[in-house]
Chains A and B, each alone.
Chain A
Amino acid sequence: MTKLDVLVAGVGGQGTLVASDILAEVGLRAGFDVKKSDVLGLSVRGGSVLSHVRWGRDVASPVVRKGGVDVLLAFEPLEAVRGVEFLRQAGVALVNTQPQPPVSVTNGGGVYPPLEDVRRILEGVASSVVFVDATPAAVKAGSAKAANVVMLGAFSTLTEVPSAVWEAVILERVPERFRALNEAAFRAGVALMKGGGRS
């Protein structure tokens, strides 16, 4: 692996930026040049959050071109669809299956796309679309909030970077009392990719 471009797509409050910071740091430890760029829009909770993370030999732009992302790491199905324009042909999409409908759906006229549509749209581009039941796994590990770390565990299996590096970076970033939870969440993500739980 000489380079890896990732788009992390989520909703404010899901830990999208924490996850993309971890991705960037892991890339650095694995010997890559790294750049990342976050787009938050208005800093109000509940908005879409996009992070570009780039590992490479000499990364110039912190922003990936549309159609250039190797892996779309989506923490929410609707946000996966919003990020589809960045995905390269025959790339990989990893999607947390748990929807988080926006207020325009719960309180207005908007319609949330059914999961089968999400899959169909992503499969139009990606060679591999993996739906990950990250939220139930995170709940089992101790908190639904750790779904981002479950997704990182799932993502880690696509790379050659050893689990120990991932776990070290993750554990450095969480308070002592949440370490066991995050460790369990990361390992649950790895297990979901290697065993059952994928859908």
Chain B
Amino acid sequence: MTRALLSGNEAIARGAYEAGVEVATGYPGTPSSEILETVAKQYGKAIYAEWSTNEKVAMDAAAGAAYSGRRVLVTTKQVGVNVLSDSLLYAVYTGVEAGLVVVTADDPGMFSSQNEQDNRWYARLAKIPLLEPADSQEAKDFVILGIELSERFDTPVLIRTTMRVSHSRSVVTLGERPGRPTNVGPFIRNQEKYVCTAMWAKRRHPMVEQRIRDLASYAESTLVNQVLWRDRALGIITSGVVHAYAREVFPQASFLKLGMTYPLPERLLRSFAQGVKRLIVLEELDPFLEEQIRALGIDVTGKALFPPCDELLPDRLAEIAEAARLPGVVKPLRSAPVPAGLPTRTPLLCAGCPHRSTFYLLAQMKLPVAGDIGCYNLGCLPPFNAQHTMGCMGASIGVLHGMSIAGIPERAVATIGDSTFFHSGLPALVNMVHNQSRGVVILMDNGTTAMTGHQDHPGTGWSLRAPQAPRVEFEPLIRAMGVTKVVSVNAFDIAEVERGLEDCLSHDGPSVLITKGLCAQLNRSPASSYHVREEVCVACGTCFLLGCPAIVRSEARGRADRPKARIDATLCVGCDHCRQVCPTGAIVTEGPTGKEDRR
């Protein structure tokens, strides 16, 4: 019996392997990205894995593969389910030929997301089973169970992890992969099942309703819903990682730990409620369990004590429980406070980042900027303050269009990355062409999906499976969409970016400025470090406006006692941006400049 320490995400990938999954699709997003990366790296011979252009495409591909008889896994972060929901909802009516599991990695605490939405609601909306693993062993087991349920009940299955499950490691017992047929047969023509036209879909709806009733019966007896009787003064209903926290905070309490959180087991809930003096629900984010339990007429406390915002870590649980005088709460620990006023470590664009030139210029030009999701969202922070909206993937271009049709008195721009542009920028740009608005779309092409860990996209020329893949070129694509003003510039040449921006801004219609420059993290041949000639530096502070982590305040002072600049040689990769903005020529290099795009 082999045991291994796996992260929740690695365990989900392992679960896919042991469940006989044959196709895995998804779009990168923290905290879910490592699932598909592990599938491709560890199990790529057994499982086809791809980064799709967006979550909806991933879901459609999954449906098509499942209709064709392949077991499928779809992975996404929580907001990605918003994107794939249209496709998930038809798959609910059609069902599948082989198992289909969708994994959503939620983000209580918002470590890397734009909202704190609770995706358990999607299971209720879609009327599909929902599994919530608490640790890596369950993460693996629940993928196997999910595939089994999907095939047994002819339904997609939703698995919800959270950041703490996905990014924690715990011990997992490994199993074997089942034998699966190498080939699938011809595509099954079953129109009444797989064509969701109203006349046929209307007949499917009662089946969906019956199915969720059947699943509710199954939930009464499934082993993943467990009762642990101890002291009856307090009964706690939990799921996911919160169960692990609660075990430590309430060592004497009785537990109903739900592995399957939709549909709920009514009889089991009632018998547990009757067996305890006081009943509480511990769940992060929304009162998803609480409201359904209360709707059964069961007296239960949840959000009245434990708030819907942020994680419910053990310390917070203990503090709230103590204040509410719940019985059997673990004793508080003595803890020293973190001293106030410690310097922060805020995220910054990396030294050598190709996005820096654009934000340096936008900050000076003071244009309104519709932003998007990616590293370049850091352009909203000082010293740039040059992104004024940011909502979700691909929103920037539509928001720019809206600013244009609203008739704002300024010229406006949108910033969008290369991967995000493929994800959901394309339809919005075509809309600008069709509805004849104006504005500059700055396509910040750094040749990768940088923020989530450098995944591929259709413009990279490689894929998750293949070192070589067709490269979709932006300029011909955008011209073919009907944009007549398209300018490509080298992101490491600030004057060239400025000329391109001015050119696009003067265009009466939609225009696209493509700023090309390889992500600094992918640059395998950085130029040697630059340095500041202290005797030439006049302490004007212009280079500080680049917000580069390598440009720091020197001990040396210039006029009005202002600090001169110094370059940290361990961080500088010689991108040349600072040399270009220095008005006195104080920043120099002995080596070649890193100005050319190194793709």
Residues of A within 8 A of B (CB): 11, 21, 24-25, 28, 33-48, 59-63, 65-68, 78, 81-82, 84-89, 101-107, 110-113, 121, 124-125
| Contact of B168 with A107 in the complex, beta carbons under 8 Å | no
B244 interface hit (Cβ, 8 Å): yes
Interface of chain B residues 139 through 186 with chain A (CB within 8 A)? 164, 167-171
| Contact of B334 with A104 in the complex, beta carbons under 8 Å | no
| Contact of B135 with A35 in the complex, beta carbons under 8 Å | yes
| Contact of A37 with B168 in the complex, beta carbons under 8 Å | yes
- How many residues on chain B are close to A (CB under 8 Å)? 49
B345 interface hit (Cβ, 8 Å): yes
Residues of B within 8 A of A (CB): 3, 5, 30, 111-112, 135, 164, 167-171, 241, 244-245, 247-248, 313-315, 318, 333-339, 341-348, 350, 375, 378, 451-453, 521, 544, 549, 551-553, 568
| Contact of A45 with B350 in the complex, beta carbons under 8 Å | yes
B160: min CB distance to chain A, Å: 17
| Contact of A24 with B337 in the complex, beta carbons under 8 Å | no
Which of the listed residues A43, A105, A110 has the most CB atoms from chain B within 10 Å of its own CB?
A43
| Contact of A67 with B552 in the complex, beta carbons under 8 Å | no
Report chain A residues within 8 Å CB of B553. 106-107
Closest to B554 in A: A106
Report chain B residues within 8 Å CB of A89. 334
Knowing A41-B111, A61-B247 are in contact, say whether A104-B335 is a contact too (CB < 8 A).
no
| Contact of B348 with A46 in the complex, beta carbons under 8 Å | yes
A75: min CB distance to chain B, Å: 13
Report chain B residues within 8 Å CB of A68. 333
| Contact of B318 with A41 in the complex, beta carbons under 8 Å | no
Closest to A60 in B: B247
CA distance A15 to B344 in the complex (A): 20
| Contact of A104 with B344 in the complex, beta carbons under 8 Å | yes
7 contacts between A and B (CB under 8 A): A11-B345, A36-B169, A37-B168, A42-B111, A87-B336, A101-B343, A107-B552
| Contact of A105 with B5 in the complex, beta carbons under 8 Å | no
| Contact of A102 with B345 in the complex, beta carbons under 8 Å | yes
Report chain B residues within 8 Å CB of A125. 336
CA distance A78 to B5 in the complex (A): 30
| Contact of A81 with B339 in the complex, beta carbons under 8 Å | yes
A113: min CB distance to chain B, Å: 7
| Contact of A25 with B5 in the complex, beta carbons under 8 Å | yes
Report chain B residues within 8 Å CB of A81. 338-339, 342
| Contact of A39 with B333 in the complex, beta carbons under 8 Å | no
Choose one: B168, B334, B342, B453; the contact of A78 (CB below 8 Å).
Answer: B342
CA distance A39 to B167 in the complex (A): 8
B519: min CB distance to chain A, Å: 12
Report chain A residues within 8 Å CB of B30. 43
| Contact of A61 with B343 in the complex, beta carbons under 8 Å | no
Choose one: A36, A39, A41, A84; the contact of B347 (CB below 8 Å).
Answer: A41
| Contact of B347 with A44 in the complex, beta carbons under 8 Å | yes
